[in-house]
Amino acid sequence: MPVETVLLFVFGVVIFIIGLVISVALHELGHLSFAKLFGVRVSQYMVGFGKTLWSFKRGETEYGIKAVLLGGYISMAGMFPPRKTADGEISKQDDTRNRAFFRAVVQDARDASAATMDGTDESRAFYNASPWKRIIIMVAGPFMNLLIGIAITAVLICGFGAPVATIATVGACVPTDPTGTSKCVSTDAPSPAKVAGIKKGDVLISVKGVKYPSTAQATALIQQSANEPITLVVLRDGHQMTITTTPVKVKRDQLDASGVPMSTTEGQPIVSSLGAIGVGLGDSLIPQPITAVLPTAGAQVGSTFAALGKLPTNLVGVWNAVFTSAPRAPGSPVSVVGVGRAIGTVSSMTGVPVKDKVYTILGLLASLNFALFALNMLPLLPLDGGHVVGALWEAIRNAFARLFGRKKPGPVDIARAMPITYVVVAIFVAMSALLIVADLIKPVSLTG
């Protein structure tokens, strides 16, 4: 491998690390800002884990960077309320003997939380903040990642442009064989695209009223319109043109998600009838108005949550790819190692314009921040969403207490969920280990 390629790969990885550190730092800054605004004592603001490499103290908070730059945290006083006795008084110590394992885990969490108080006035403890303040503090972190993702999306689609379907090739005819690869002969009818005057390089501004369609959208719209006239608005040499054409009905092999022809249990190919106009589609980057940013970002956040819902199934595929000869699916989940490797690979590609490299790298960083937002909003401890659920439950209890004229029941003791937290952490560690191994020995291909 040429030295220049290696250096470009390393440069891409460094860019990724910087982007990750900034994303983590801003995430924790979101928590920190509102914690301080609401009077919660914060003793530490750290980017990274492990040994502290550098730090300084300002006021009551120590700010620093640690050795392993794969996360970060802030240390707030009193994350969990202390244990109370039967009469409602705070227990000064754990008086339970021969504690069962789970009870010990819960009490250890309480003890660790109590240690963070360090003489702090109890009114400044996190658990004593009102539920809505705790919700804002915990949501502020993921919200920063959401804002980063939206900001990068704005740069991408307004500055560089969004991928829009573009005519890459115009065939002289429409192949009639199921594979769609047969050559044209003199007796074949000219393709609808050729008859309509569609040319290579035409950008599809709209297809059947759908503006700025992606390649997949444009293909689907054409395929759904066999023997039906459709209207295309194309951009050619800076001018918009309206073209009407009628897709012809053809039979094509039905393909699976990997692009492999599907067949019945008897081995017979599955063939579908669909419309075709005799073109090959590619993508062009067309700058979009600022009003397109939020819908685009919203769609990506939605797809990220959908991907999290499919994560268990996709992890089975990753496991098979690691421990069997099965290939790694193009859309399978990746770890931060996989994202870093992808950015390094893009950076070192030869023959790819710098603009395209920057676009791809920024897109990966936006996706990373949307993933951090979605992941942290899951209603599981120790994620931010788990603390939000605890605060919401407390708000509901307080509302019912007011409704029936009862005394507030006090903070929800989410320390009791610590055994479940350990299970969640174990699952995340195992998942991360699997994805890291997969990204090292069988990475996702960027070229298909």
Angle at the Cα of 171 from the Cα atoms of 165 and 177, rounded to 5 degrees: 105
Q: Hey, what are 113's tokens?
A: 């939380």
Considering the candidates 28, 62, 228, 266, report the single residue annotated as catalytic.
28
Burial of 366 (0-12, 13-18, 19+ CB in 10 A): buried
- For residue 230, report the phi and psi dihedrals to the nearest 5 degrees: -125, 150
- For residue 197, report the phi and psi dihedrals to the nearest 5 degrees: 85, 20
Burial of 419 (0-12, 13-18, 19+ CB in 10 A): middle
The 3-state DSSP composition of the chain as helix, strand, coil percent (nearest 5) reads: 50, 20, 30
d(Cα 163, Cα 360) in Å, to the nearest integer? 12
Catalytic, 60? Answer no
- For residue 179, report the phi and psi dihedrals to the nearest 5 degrees: -85, -15
Number of H helices and E strands in the chain, helices first, is: 11, 10
Are 366 and 159 contacting, i.e. CB atoms less than 8 angstroms apart? Answer: no
- Give the catalytic positions in this structure: 28
